Structure 1
Amino acid sequence: MDKRFLTPVEVANATINSGIKKASLDTGSCICLGILAGIFIGLGGVGNILASQTLNNIDTGLARLAGATVFPVGLILVVICGAELFTGNNLMT
C-alpha cells in the first residue's frame, strides 16, 4: 500500500477541480446542500450544548472539553456527506 503526500502541483490541480465542480452545481442542488450543511452544523452545536450542560455540574473544564470534542462532528458530517458550506465555497475563490 503506497501512502504518499500530494505534490504542490497535485494539490493545486485538486483545488482547481474542486472549485470547478462546485461552480457547476445547479441552483437547486446548491441550496439543498447548503441547507443540509446548516443542519449538520446545527446538530454539532446542539451536541456541544448538551455535552457541556450535562457535565457542567461535575467539572467546568471537563464540560468544555466534552463540548469541544462533540462540535466537530457537524463539520465531519459536512465533509463526508458532501454538503456545501458558504465559508468553504468562499475559500474556493
Structure 2
Amino acid sequence: MKTTSLLTGAVLMILSGAALAAGPKQVDADQAAGLQEMGTVQISGVAGSSDDAMHALKAKAAKDNAGHYQIVALGNSADSSLWGGTAILYK
C-alpha cells in the first residue's frame, strides 16, 4: 500500500511537471480565429537570436496564464543582436 502511494505520487509529479514544461501553445492566425483574446505582451532588448526572442514571448505568455499565443511581430534593430517582439495572448 505504501509503495502504491509513492508510485501514484511520483506519477502525478511527473505529469504536472510535463504540463508546466509544455506551457502555452503557439498558434497562427487561422488557429487563433476561434480563441478568446486576453491581451498582448511585448519584449525588447532580448540578446541572442530570434529563438531567444520567441522563448521570451512564450515565457511572458506563460506568466500571464495564456493557453495560446500568436507572435505578430518579431525583429531586431540596427544592433542585430537585440530582438523585440509582440504576441497576442489567448485563453
User: Does the alignment reach a TM-score above 0.5?
Assistant: no
Q: TM-score, normalised by structure 2?
A: 0.30
